[in-house]
Amino acid sequence: DEFEGSGVWRYNAALPFEEGVTLPEGDTPLHEMPRLKDDIGVDALRVKHEGMNPTGSFKDRGMTVGVRVAQEVGVDRLACASTGNTSAALAAYGARGGMETLVLLPAGKVAAGKIAQASLHRARILEVDGNFDQCLDIVQDLAARGEAYLLNSLNPFRLEGQKTIGLEIMEEFYADNGEYPDRIVLPVGNAGNTAALYKCFRELVKAGAITEEQVPKLTGVQAEGAAPMVEAIENGYEDTRRWEDVETRATAIRIGNPVNAPKALPGIRETGGTAVAVSDEEITEAQRDIAGEGVGVEPASAASVAGLRKLRREGEVDSDESVVCLTTGHLLKDPEAAAEAGNEPEPVANSTEAVLDLIEEPSSV
């Protein structure tokens, strides 16, 4: 059945239920990136492409568990605030489970593909005149008043499902390389994945499946315009300060108040990892680099590779390290950003001669 094909429910021994509302999710590719590996200069480089999930992001791994819990609890309205991907996943899994979904989005700051998904999967979409963090404040209020079941990553069951990213990485990397990766680099917004991966590794150590030394260094990447966790780490792991004004081309991680920071910061610290901020230009360059190896990701996802490149250049990452970069969402989520980062289409007259004339010259646009 469908649930047996799920890369999440395959690991149900680590989950609160045997099965859930599935599409099915997980089992995403762990791509080799030979040119990028040499270019960045590390011993091994893999890209775990979570954009290959049913709705095109890692959020599906959390929703398959979270919506199952909502059924168990017997709620009738599911809700989230979202920079886009959470809303797409919630709408799809809510529809699959036959439930009503409500999503609050920051007006004008959500990529087209994500709104299209939420819309077609029948979510009620409210565009708030405010940023993501303010949307989340409202949804938390709604949940506290009993008006909706909250399915942001504050919901711990979401993170249970997202732990399976770590299980898949460890299993597959070991099968291919005979060892575990030294480091996992991932984009950070609300820091849900960072918290989920840390929980995953703690459980693996506790079960005796891996040793403390085999836990990969968790390395977070934020956009310069939305980097409160990087700031907290630079200030000696102080409490994370909420940034009121945030901006980045990577709209998925345009977040100033990472709600899972208290769970994620110890993960970065205890695993010997770090966090780094990258510019929008560095994100765009990385998006092009990854695409140049045939793998299409959205801007926030490319932040992982941009961060690795920066840390390698600064000597924070050694040349003998094996690294897995997490790419969290698919290129088609944000077609506008992809078109801006990529080659410009060239107009040409309707004739073979005109086409030949044009392709003799290198592209001018």
Q: Which residues bind ligand F0G (CB under 6 A)?
A: 57, 82-86, 153, 187-193, 252-253, 298, 300-301, 328-329
Q: Does the N-terminal peptide bond of residue 54 adopt cis geometry, omega within 30 degrees of 0?
A: no
- DSSP assignment of 251-302 equals GGG--SS-TTHHHHHHHHHHTT-EEEEE-HHHHHHHHHHHHTTT--B-HHHH
Question: What is residue 345's DSSP assignment?
Answer: P
Work out how close the CB of 211 gets to ligand F0G at its nearest, in angstroms, rounded to a whole number. 26
Give dist(CA 42, CA 103) in Å, integer: 41
- The residue (of 275 and 300) whose beta carbon lies closer to ligand F0G is 300
- The residue (of 70 and 253) whose beta carbon lies closer to ligand F0G is 253
- Look at residue 109 and give its three-state secondary structure: coil
- The residue (of 84 and 228) whose beta carbon lies closer to ligand F0G is 84
- The residue (of 20 and 329) whose beta carbon lies closer to ligand F0G is 329
In angstroms, what CA-CA distances link 280 with 189, 300, 306, 357? 15, 10, 10, 36
Work out how close the CB of 222 gets to ligand F0G at its nearest, in angstroms, rounded to a whole number. 9
Work out how close the CB of 141 gets to ligand F0G at its nearest, in angstroms, rounded to a whole number. 17
Work out how close the CB of 73 gets to ligand F0G at its nearest, in angstroms, rounded to a whole number. 22
Give dist(CA 149, CA 35) in Å, integer: 45
Give dist(CA 237, CA 232) in Å, integer: 5
User: Residues near 178 by Cβ (< 8 Å), separated by ≥ 6?
Assistant: none
Work out how close the CB of 155 gets to ligand F0G at its nearest, in angstroms, rounded to a whole number. 12
- The residue (of 95 and 174) whose beta carbon lies closer to ligand F0G is 95
Q: Virtual CA dihedral for 125, 131, 134, 140, nearest 10 degrees? A: 40
Backbone angles phi, psi at 274, to 5 degrees: -160, 180
Work out how close the CB of 252 gets to ligand F0G at its nearest, in angstroms, rounded to a whole number. 3
- The residue (of 187 and 228) whose beta carbon lies closer to ligand F0G is 187
Give dist(CA 133, CA 245) in Å, integer: 10
- The residue (of 24 and 258) whose beta carbon lies closer to ligand F0G is 258
Work out how close the CB of 336 gets to ligand F0G at its nearest, in angstroms, rounded to a whole number. 15
